[in-house]
Amino acid sequence: MTASSYMGRTRGGTEWEPEFVTEIDQQQCIGCGRCFKTCPRNVFDLVEREVDEDDPMYDDYDDDVVMVMELADADDCIGCGACARVCSKNCMTHTKASALL
């Protein structure tokens, strides 16, 4: 793949470069599911993560696990950026397509 093969265009003809999701910060994620509902592809999956007992954030939390989002299939991302816009915890890292070559 070359950088130009990833470049797209808007309907009006303006060149546009996708920014693919490359990481989710599961320490910040609250498992709200907004990114999952927003994504037009099959990139995300909600999974259980063991609670870090040393983290004071979970002092009053009874369960051993919390639900967090993970990247189930990052290769299915089209780089639209919608997930980052709906995440209230700023968990997502996106990378320009040309930087991944």
Residues interacting with ligand SF4, by CB under 6 A? 21, 24, 29-35, 38-41, 43, 69, 77-83, 86-87, 89, 91
H-helix or E-strand spanning residue 93: strand 92-96
CB 64, CB 51: distance < 8 Å: yes
Nearer to ligand SF4, 81 or 100 (CB): 81
∠ CA(62), CA(35), CA(18), 5° rounding?
Answer: 145
Decide whether 27 or 101 has the Cβ nearer to ligand SF4. Answer: 27
Q: CB-wise, 83 or 97, nearer to ligand SF4?
A: 83
* Distance, first Cα to last Cα, the chain: 7
**DSSP code at position 63:** S
Tell me the closest approach of the beta carbon of residue 97 to ligand SF4, in angstroms.
Answer: 11
Three-class SS of residue 20?
Answer: strand
In the complex, the smallest distance separating the C-beta of residue 77 from ligand SF4, rounded to whole angstroms, is 3
The least distance separating ligand SF4 from the CB of residue 12, rounded to whole angstroms, comes to: 20
